[in-house]
Amino acid sequence: MNNYVTDDIQVVNEDTTYPFVVCDNWFSPKEEKAIWSELNFYSHQDNINRAGNTIVAKDKKGNPKSNAYRWYTAGYFKNEQHEFVSHIDRYGYKLREKKIHDQIDKCKPFSRSYFSTNNTTTLISYYEEDDSYKAHYDTFAWTVLIWFAKQPQVFTGGDFDFPESKTQVNFKHNRAVLFPCCYLHRVSPVKFKEKPKEFGLGRWTITHFLYSTPMANIPNG
C-alpha cells in the first residue's frame, strides 16, 4: 500500500484514476483555537450519538459500518433566525479558496463536480478505543475530512486509506483530505496508548459533504 505524507498541499495520484488532495495546517492557530472551543463544547453534551443510532453506511445485513460518535453541526448551532453560528461552519469559506481550487482543478475529471457544488453539510465524528469505519462510499459529490487530536496525541491508528488505489494517508492533527465521494474509503481502528482520563482525547473528524441543489427558478427580465 502506498503510504502518503505531505508537507503542505498537494494532489496525490494526479496521473491515475483516483486523484485527491491532501493539505496540512488547514486551520491557522487562531482558527484552531476556535475549533477546539466548539469541539470541547460537544464533548460535554449528553445527546451525542453513536453512529449506529444515526444515518451511517451499513453492510448488507443492515449493520452500521462504524460505531464512532457522530452528529451534524446544524443540530446544535442555529439561532432563532436559523443562521449558523458554528465556528466550523463559518470557516467553510476555506473550501473555496484559490489555493484549494488550483489543486482540485488537477483532479480531472472529478474537478468539475467539485466546482458545481453549491451546498455543504457538516458532520462531526469522534473515535474512541477500537472505533473504526469499514470501507464505504459517501452519497454526495465531494467529501472533505479535517482531522483533529489533542496534543500530545495519546492514540495510534485512525489512519485513512482508499482500498481501490491502495493509498494510505496517515492520521495527522489539522490535516485535510479532499476527494470525490465515489471513492471507496475507510478508517483503521483507534488504539489508546493508555486508558484516557477524559472524553475527547481520541480522534476527531470534521467532515464537509459538498453537493449541488437546484437553483430557484428566477423569471427572466
State the cell numbers at 66. 462504524
Distance CA 204, CA 126 (A): 5
Is residue 51 one of the residues assigned to a domain?
A: yes
CA distance readout (Å), 37 to 27, 75, 87, 122, 170: 14, 17, 9, 17, 25
Distance CA 104, CA 76 (A): 31
DSSP assignment letter at 188: P
Give me the tens of pLDDT residue by residue for the chain, a chain 221 residues long.
665 555 589 999 998 899 999 999 999 999 999 999 999 988 887 767 776 556 688 888 888 899 899 988 887 765 554 454 789 999 999 999 999 999 999 999 999 999 999 999 999 999 999 999 999 999 999 999 999 999 999 999 999 999 999 999 999 999 999 999 999 999 999 999 999 989 999 999 999 999 999 754 444 43
Is residue 221 one of the residues assigned to a domain?
A: no
State the cell numbers at 49. 450519538
Is residue 140 one of the residues assigned to a domain?
A: yes
Number of structural domains the chain divides into: 1
Is residue 17 one of the residues assigned to a domain?
A: yes
Asked if residue 137 lies in contact with residue 180, where contact means CB atoms within 8 angstroms, the answer is: no
DSSP annotation string for 153-171: --EEE--EEETTTTEEE--
Is residue 175 one of the residues assigned to a domain?
A: yes
Summarised one tens digit per residue, pLDDT across range 161-213 is 999 999 999 999 999 999 999 999 999 999 999 999 899 999 999 999 999 99
Is residue 147 one of the residues assigned to a domain?
A: yes
CA distance readout (Å), 80 to 42, 77, 83, 101: 20, 10, 8, 34
Which domain range does residue 185 map to?
2-57+64-191+202-211
Q: What is the pTM of this model?
A: 0.90
- The CATH number of whichever domain residue 180 belongs to comes to 2.60.120.620
